[in-house]
Structure 1
C-alpha cells in the first residue's frame, strides 16, 4: 500500500511538470520597443529626428502574445547658414500587435506578427495634420538568451497604409499604398526591407 501511495505521488508530480511545460510563457509579461536618434547633413541643411516607442506585451497562451506600443516621432530640419527652421514635425504612434510563435529547435523560435500602427502627426510650421492607419505583417526569429531576455529580428513582409492629410488651408486628401516586396530592389542593394533587431525582456 505504501508503494502504491508513493507511485501515485510520483505520477501526480509528472503530470504537474507536464502541465507546467505545456503552459510555456502563458501569463508572462514582456517589454521591448524602439529607440532611435539620427542626424543627417547634406551640406545645405541638417535634419535631426528621434523615435521613442516603448512596447508592453502579455502572453495570453503558451505561444501567443499581444502587445501595445505608444510613442512619439519628431523631426526638425534647419539650414546650415543661419540655422533657420525649414521643417518641423511631430507625431504620436499607437500600435497594437499580436504574435504567434513556433519552435524550430532548442532556444530558437520562428514567429509571425501582425500589427496595426496608427499615427497622428502635425507639421509644426504649417499646422497641417496627417493621420495614418496601417497593417504590417512581419515574420521573424527569436532566440531565448535566458529566463528574462530574448534577442529577436524581423522584417516587414506585407505593409498596407492609408493616409489622410488635413491641411490648415485647402481640402483634405488621402492615399493608399500596398507593399508586398520585402527586398530593396535598388541597384547594388538587396537588403531586407524594414529589418529590425532588438531585445525583449520577460518578467
Structure 2
C-alpha cells in the first residue's frame, strides 16, 4: 500500500512539474496566422491617391514573448483625377519580420516589430517596373479576445527604403529614403509613376485578426 501511495505521489508531482513548465513557456512553440489590412488615401488638388495593402502573415513564437514570421501579399496604388486614372500600380509584397511582445494589462499586449519588406510589380499606365527594398520599425497593440484569437493594430515608426523605377522608355531611377513616423517626402518621380505615394510604399497604419494554434 505504501508503494502505491509513493507511486501516486510521484505521478502527481510529475504532472504538476509538466503543467508548470507548460505555463512558463506560454506561447513558445505556438504558431499564429494573421492578415494585416492597410489603407491610405491622400488628396492634392484634384488628384486623389489611394494605397490598399493586404498581407497574410504566418509565424511562430520562438520564446514566450518573441515571434518570427513572414508575409506574402499584394498592394495596389492608384491615383485619379477628374479626367480618369493617372497611375495604377499592382505590386507583390514579401515581408520577413520579428516581433517582441510586452504585457500591458490583462489580455492587452504591446509589440515592437522589425520588418524587411520586398516590393515589386508594375505601374500599368506608364508601363514601368517598380522594385523596393526596405526596413520598417513599427509598434502596435495586440488584444487577445480569447487565448486563440486576437485583434491587432500597428503603426510605422521609422522606415528606410531604396526604390528602383525602370520605365519601358527612359532611364532607370533609384531613390533612397529615410523617414520617421511615415512623414511624407514626395518626389516628382513618384508623382508621375506612383501618383504622389510616399517613397516608402507600405501603409503607415494597419490592423488585422490573429489566430494562435
Unaligned runs of at least 5 residues, structure 2: 185-202
Query: Size of the alignment, in residue pairs?
Result: 193
1:45, 1:183 → 2: CA distance?
A: 19
Q: CA deviation at 1:39?
A: 8.0
1:137, 1:45 → 2: CA distance?
A: 29
Q: Deviation per CA, 1:127-169: give whole Å up to 9, x if none.
A: 2112111111112222211022112222222211111121222
Give the match's secondary structure for 2:62: strand
Label 1:49 to 1:154 Cα distance change in 2 as closer, same or farther (>3 A). Answer: closer
Q: CA deviation at 1:35?
A: 3.5
Residues 36, 206 of structure 2: 8 Å contact kept: no
Residues 43, 80 of structure 1: 8 Å contact kept: no
* Paired position in structure 1 for 2:162: 162
Q: CA deviation at 1:17?
A: 0.4
2:43, 2:103 → 1: CA distance?
A: 44
Label 1:77 to 1:104 Cα distance change in 2 as closer, same or farther (>3 A). Answer: closer
Give the match's secondary structure for 2:12: helix
Q: CA deviation at 1:65?
A: 1.5
| The 10-residue stretch of structure 1 (115-124 or 138-147) with the greater mean CA deviation from structure 2 | 138-147
Label 1:137 to 1:36 Cα distance change in 2 as closer, same or farther (>3 A). Answer: closer
* Paired position in structure 1 for 2:198: none
| The 10-residue stretch of structure 1 (100-109 or 111-120) with the greater mean CA deviation from structure 2 | 100-109
Q: Deviation per CA, 1:27-48: give whole Å up to 9, x if none.
A: 3222212345788888956666
Aligned equivalent of 2:65, options 63, 66, 75: 63
Aligned equivalent of 1:202, options 189, 196, 212: 212
* Paired position in structure 2 for 1:72: 74
RMSD of aligned residue pairs (Cα, Å): 2.9
* Paired position in structure 1 for 2:54: 52
Q: Deviation per CA, 1:51-73: give whole Å up to 9, x if none.
A: 32212222233222122111122
Give the match's secondary structure for 1:25: coil
* Paired position in structure 2 for 1:95: 95
Label 1:65 to 1:175 Cα distance change in 2 as closer, same or farther (>3 A). Answer: same
Give the match's secondary structure for 1:5: helix
Give the match's secondary structure for 1:13: helix
Label 1:115 to 1:168 Cα distance change in 2 as closer, same or farther (>3 A). Answer: same
